[in-house]
Amino acid sequence: MAQTTTTTSKRAERGTLGNSAVRPDGLAKVQGRFAFSSDAWADNMLWGATLRSPHPHARIISIDASAALAINGVATVITAADVPGQLTYGLIANDQPVFAKDVVRFAGEPIAAVAADHPETARRALDAIVVVYEVLPALLDAEQAINGSFAPIHPDGNVIRRQKVVRGDQDFVGEVVVEGTYEVGMQDQAFLGLEAALALPDDDGAGVELYVATQWLHEDQKQIAACLGLPLERVRLTLGGVGGAFGGREDISLQVHCCLLALATQRPIKMQYGREESFFGHIHRHPASMVMRHHADRDGTLRRVEVRAVFDGGAYASTSSAVLINAVTHMQGPYRCDIATVDGYAVRSNNPPCGAMRGFGVVQACFGHESQMDKLAAACGLSPVDIRLKNAMRTGDRLITGQIVDSVAPVERCIRETAAISMPPPLAQDADLLDIPGGSGLTAQRSNIRRGVGWGVSIKNLMYSEGFDDYATARCHLTDGVATLQFATAEVGQGFVVLAQQIARSVLGVDTVLLEPISTAIGSAGSTSASRQTWMSGGAVDGACRLVRERLFEHVAAAHQLDPLRLAIDGTDVVDTRGSLRVAVAEAAPGLVLDETFEHHHRATEELDEDGQGNCHVAFAFVAHRAVVDVDPDLGLVKVVQIATAQDVGRVLNPLAALGQVEGGIAQGLGLAVMEEIVLKDGVMRNPSFTDYLLPTSLDAPIVVATMIEEPEPQAPLGAKGIGEPPCISVTPAIVAAIRDATGKALTRVPVRAQDIVFGD
């Protein structure tokens, strides 16, 4: 199933950096031949399935699997008692059980897994397992976790992390003060390709090979091996085709279960979640509540932010502590602000676990700070644009953590270039019903509709923070003008595979770039998250290709008695920059095999101190969004008409892929603004399906007009910043501001629901 992908760019521009090179997996994907992890298959395989708790908090009194084991076709049932290694896993804290042992802490927590000859047999087996629970009161209110009124639901306690950011004169009171309380609902990544894996036991029964859709193969490998009680090298991972990720594949889901079943049965095991189980099986975006007070001078100069932020992490820690520090360190937004009083909590509860999702803590903070900036603008008599321009951060300014923003910081330019984008035409008198809020539901006429405009601007850190060395490894092999690249970078749809080829073509002057399977056979690439792979894995591929090029130049130079420093790549040739030598890369060193591996590390960062001070982040990217919406205020229905955006990207490496990231991120931010929310009642999800968890459709997609701001980032290996997260961050507050503009309603929570518009203040 894993294949080496081949493409030779047929385009005149050769598919080098800066061109819209064609993705190497594109043809297979459009023809249905691309092997996603759910397409993996092996002779003699069994199907795995997971039994989950219906209760958010309960003691497990007994588990009786005898009736399940008696079903014809059921091979095994495993529980916590069958975990040979570590009983828990986790990205930061090791606190999440492979299977709940004595207690379940969220509705949906795994209790047992079965292997059977058919998915239906497996389902029947799950139904036949008898679990006796003693239901316990559930901790569902984050404030109870903070104030200690609820007994710890986990040995690690009910507060996962508290982090303050304290800076400047703590008694300062601004000439203008605005306050607000903001809430963000629980969003789901809702990647289309459901969790799936195929585990193959080694012949000696003491190791396993796993094909899996994930964001970080090496971290998975580490956690799986620990739970299996196996040395790392006996757990080998290859990336199965990944149908989107958005943060939701950063944590372990079915990986350990699948391997355990394979080792228990000594047969290949396929596991694949359905959509409902997927909602239970991965973490979500943290719901958050934020009380904010912004202080400014009368002219609108931002002076102080006060924030109390509470993020509900759910039952297990996942990346909650990192999400929290992202939120608290970005609370001032992309603005200069000298004084901060921020108090943030990430708490444990019996709600579903939360962790990484595109925007990682900054999405929540941004909804708050941008709502506050609009309030401040109104209080100071400024327009939303003017207040943002007035306070726009520049290179050299400090964050509220004291860290100097030494990244390129074209905040003002992002705002000005967004403002320069033409507004959409007014809604036509004879507009098609599909263009009116309510769409084919025929709820409105043109005369029922009001239009609004709103703004959002954001800052997002790139790469991992707080001292973590999330390096990336890549290998380049060159022979007779054919390059082969190897890396463990998870291609989740973002297009790193084409970028890697573009880098190799540019650096080495080759046309044909082969890609080895993405696996743990090479060193870690870190996670495909934090907008980091273009920078980190791109830097690693670039580094490996440059090493190979040096060796090639040395060889050519020796053959022609030249100084290798005189050589350069021009198109597909090696040329002597001071002479007449010109030889095709493909013919420059017949038969010579060059093979180099390179690790890219970003600069070191620090942990925050008790007051939230320290150089904890690597680099930053900025973006501005302007939303135009049509609203039917009487019914509370919204149609987002246009999103204008200018994004600080450093350098555009593939225009088509960059635009795709921008448009895709905007759609996810739109989803959070007006429709996407996991609804909980007593800790139980009410809407774990695509019937009731609504994603934007083609008829909800706005027109996107995007400008890429290209000011190359000196720190970045290719001059390019990561572009994945910023598009989805400030578009949410921009849309909500536009709805406020159309309706005059306060709208302090997302997603904005129809009833909030109709009945809200």
User: Applying CB under 8 A, does 269 fall inside the site for other proteins?
Assistant: no
CB of 523 to other proteins, least distance (A): 25
Site for other proteins in 102-131 (CB under 8 A): 118-121, 123, 127
Element counts in the chain: helices (H) and strands (E): 17, 31
User: Applying CB under 8 A, does 87 fall inside the site for other proteins?
Assistant: no
Q: Which of 281, 93, 215 is nearest to 529 (CA)?
A: 215
**Of residues 26 and 168, the one with the C-beta less far from other proteins:** 26
φ, ψ at 121 (rounded to 5°): -60, -40
CB of 188 to other proteins, least distance (A): 10
Cα separation, 327 vs 162, in Å, equals 12
Which residues, at least 6 apart from 237, have a Cβ–Cβ distance to it below 8 Å? 209, 210, 211, 212, 214, 217, 218, 220, 221, 224, 519, 520
**Of residues 614 and 636, the one with the C-beta less far from other proteins:** 636
User: Applying CB under 8 A, does 44 fall inside the site for other proteins?
Assistant: no
SS3 67: helix
Contact residue for other proteins among 181, 634, 682, 746 (CB under 8 A) = 634
User: Applying CB under 8 A, does 428 fall inside the site for other proteins?
Assistant: no
CB of 244 to other proteins, least distance (A): 4
CB of 637 to other proteins, least distance (A): 7
Binding span for other proteins by CB under 8 A among 151-159, 254-262, 443-451, 472-480: 443-451
User: Applying CB under 8 A, does 546 fall inside the site for other proteins?
Assistant: no
Binding span for other proteins by CB under 8 A among 283-291, 331-339, 459-467, 656-664: 656-664
Binding mask 445-464 for other proteins (x = CB under 8 A): x--x----------------
CB of 624 to other proteins, least distance (A): 17
Peptide bond into 751 cis (omega under 30): yes
Cα separation, 70 vs 350, in Å, equals 34
Token code pair at residue 217: 């193969």
**Of residues 275 and 450, the one with the C-beta less far from other proteins:** 275
Binding mask 571-610 for other proteins (x = CB under 8 A): ----------------------------------------
Contact residue for other proteins among 2, 8, 18, 39 (CB under 8 A) = 39
User: Applying CB under 8 A, does 732 fall inside the site for other proteins?
Assistant: no
Rounded to 5 degrees, what angle do the CA atoms 555, 559, 560 make? 120
CB of 257 to other proteins, least distance (A): 18
Which residues, at least 6 apart from 383, have a Cβ–Cβ distance to it below 8 Å? 377
Site for other proteins in 223-252 (CB under 8 A): 241-244, 246
| Placement of tokens 């400030």 in the chain | 730
Site for other proteins in 665-724 (CB under 8 A): 665-668, 674-675, 679, 681, 686-687, 689-692, 694-701, 704
Which residues, at least 6 apart from 698, have a Cβ–Cβ distance to it below 8 Å? none
Contact residue for other proteins among 162, 164, 234, 275 (CB under 8 A) = 275
**Of residues 453 and 638, the one with the C-beta less far from other proteins:** 638
CB of 534 to other proteins, least distance (A): 15
Q: In sequence order, what DSSP letters do the residues of 139-195 get, joined into one string?
A: ---HHHHHHT-S--SSTT-SEEEEEEEEES-TT---SEEEEEEEEE-------SS--
Binding span for other proteins by CB under 8 A among 176-184, 191-199, 342-350, 612-620: 191-199
User: Applying CB under 8 A, does 285 fall inside the site for other proteins?
Assistant: no
Q: Quick check: 249 and 356 in contact, CB under 8 A? A: no
Binding span for other proteins by CB under 8 A among 347-355, 370-378, 504-512, 663-671: 663-671
Contact residue for other proteins among 440, 578, 582, 682 (CB under 8 A) = 440
CB of 433 to other proteins, least distance (A): 9
Cα separation, 554 vs 552, in Å, equals 5
CB of 145 to other proteins, least distance (A): 24
CB of 717 to other proteins, least distance (A): 23
User: Applying CB under 8 A, does 190 fall inside the site for other proteins?
Assistant: yes
Binding span for other proteins by CB under 8 A among 269-277, 390-398, 521-529, 599-607: 269-277
**Of residues 50 and 329, the one with the C-beta less far from other proteins:** 50
**Of residues 18 and 119, the one with the C-beta less far from other proteins:** 119
Contact residue for other proteins among 27, 130, 135, 593 (CB under 8 A) = 27
Cα separation, 238 vs 214, in Å, equals 10
- Which segments of 208-301 are extended strands (E)? 208-212, 235-239, 269-272, 288-296
CB of 422 to other proteins, least distance (A): 17
User: Length of the chain, please?
Assistant: 761
Q: Quick check: 731 and 625 in contact, CB under 8 A? A: yes
Cα separation, 71 vs 76, in Å, equals 10
Binding span for other proteins by CB under 8 A among 99-107, 545-553, 658-666, 742-750: 658-666
Q: Which of 211, 193, 203 is nearest to 273 (CA)?
A: 193
Binding span for other proteins by CB under 8 A among 25-33, 161-169, 223-231, 332-340: 25-33
**Of residues 181 and 440, the one with the C-beta less far from other proteins:** 440
**Beta-strand relationship, 130-135 and 58-64:** antiparallel
Cα separation, 220 vs 195, in Å, equals 14
Token code pair at residue 232: 């790392």
SS3 429: coil
Site for other proteins in 487-526 (CB under 8 A): 492-495
Cα separation, 683 vs 412, in Å, equals 43
**Of residues 256 and 643, the one with the C-beta less far from other proteins:** 643
**Of residues 128 and 400, the one with the C-beta less far from other proteins:** 128
Burial 501-537 (b: 16+ CB within 10 A, else e): bbbbbbbbbbbbbbbbbbbbebbbbbbbbbbbbbbbb
